[in-house]
Amino acid sequence: MSAPPHHLAHPGPADPPKWGVTLPLPGLTIDRHRFIVDRLPDLGYTDVWSAEGGGTDAFTPLATTAAWSPTLRIATGIVPVHTRGPAVLAQTAATLAQLAPGRLLLGIGASVPAHVTDINGIPFDEPFKRTRDVLRFLTRALRGEHVAGDFDTFSISGYRLPHPPSEPVKVILGALRPGMLRLGFTEGDGAISNLLFPEDVPKVLDAVGPQPPGKELVVKVFVCPTEDTGYAHRATRPFLAWILNREPYRKFHEWLGHGELLRECHERWADGDPEGAQKALPDEVVDGLFVSGSPEECRERILRYHRPGVTTIQLYVSLPPEVFVSRARVLDTLARLGPAGA
């Protein structure tokens, strides 16, 4: 008889996860976030995460957070591996680590062609190999090693960080399918997965396999805390139709078994009909991948993503306009969404 999956082999309770929030919040520039960063630890949050696509860069929000907070972990989720050179990534991470010793997670990944080629003019070549090579370079460089030689996707004549981090920097991968998930755990410090249903988490855990102590499995959950379902759908459906038609996410959901659920959306997008693709996206997909409802309802659904093996819940919070009327409303909503909301 075969052994049960690793996440079922030890059915004890899951350890409490860390909780992070992605900053800046949509609709609020980074210079207006100090009141949030100051209060996040009191609300039970442990992390501030950033992301990088076509808007805010990944590192400035983390530098400001590190300057404002002596305790919060700071993490990128993710930085594309094509848009910066390997040494620049190492330098940036090492500099951030000086501001937050032992509190930096460097999340890197392939991203999508729209963020690499369409707006930066950089070929989206061999995304798996490029991610693997950058990971291997960074893990050595951030330990202070001299790195030289040929990788599959670039060559380094020789580089050593003049001031390597005094405490380790974890390097984790944005990972959607088994190859990248396994790479994150075998050669890196873990992985970040996102845009999945709670019921998909066990499949991700199975692909990861047994997790050594200290590795990270981060699940990013998109949240729009409003009871106005019409607003939530209008605010989130265009993004979901766009991202689910990027090839990495299309293949991800096919692997998860959702190909038929998304078939009409994909067909209309391929036919050059983005509005039709949005309309063809089932409500169950919109509601399942971008959680909405009252903050309490959202929190209950967020907790469904936590399984043994998930170490961090990372929230991307899209607040409705009425919440921005006051700082108190913003903080109250984040409090009710997060670990202190029970």
Indicate whether 336 belongs to any domain: no
Statement to judge: residues 67 and 56 lie in one domain = yes
Could you tell me if 185 and 235 lie in one domain? Answer: no
| Domain end marker among 253, 276, 291 | 291
66 is a domain residue: yes
Amino acid 112: pLDDT: 94
Strand 290-292 relative to strand 190-194, pairing? unpaired
Q: What is the DSSP letter of 239?
A: H
* Sequence-ordered alpha helix ranges (H) in 21-154: 34-39, 60-68, 86-99, 113, 127-141
Note the pLDDT of residue 4.
Answer: 38
* Domain shared by 89 and 220, yes or no: yes
Q: How far is CA 111 from CA 38, 94, 136, 208, in A?
A: 31, 22, 18, 20
In the prediction, which pLDDT does 15 show?
80
Cα(93)–Cα(164) distance, integer angstroms: 9
One-letter amino acid at 239 equals F
My answer on whether 26 and 171 are in the same domain is yes
Residue carrying structure tokens 């919040």: 25
- CB of 320 closer than 8 Å to CB of 224: yes
With 0-12 CB in 10 A as exposed, 13-18 as middle and 19+ as buried, what is 320? Answer: middle
Alpha carbon of 39 to those of 17, 34, 161, 324: distances in Å? 19, 9, 35, 16
- Whether 106 and 250 map to the same domain: the answer is no
* Ordered per-residue pLDDT tens for the chain, 342 residues: 333 344 433 334 568 899 999 999 999 999 999 999 999 999 999 999 999 988 899 999 999 999 999 999 999 999 999 999 999 999 999 999 999 999 999 999 999 999 999 989 999 999 999 999 999 999 999 999 999 999 999 999 999 999 999 999 999 999 999 999 999 999 999 999 999 999 999 999 999 999 889 999 999 999 999 999 999 999 999 999 999 999 999 999 999 999 999 999 999 999 999 999 999 999 999 999 999 999 999 999 999 999 999 999 999 999 999 999 999 999 999 999 999 886
H or E stretch covering 316 = strand 312-317
Distance from C-alpha of 200 to C-alpha of 181, rounded to nearest angstrom: 14
How do 147-150 and 104-109 pair as beta strands?
A: unpaired
The answer on 40 and 173 residing in a single domain is yes
| pLDDT, position 11 | 36
Are residues 134 and 269 located together in one domain of the fold? no
- Tell me the residue range of the domain where 60 lies: 6-224+293-321
Whether residues 166 and 125 fall in one domain? yes
Residues 130 and 187 in one domain: yes
Q: What pLDDT is attached to residue 141?
A: 98
Could you tell me if 25 and 155 lie in one domain? yes
**Nearest of 233, 236, 220, 234 to residue 310 by alpha carbon:** 220
Mark whether 267 and 310 lie in a shared domain: no
How long, in residues, is the chain?
342
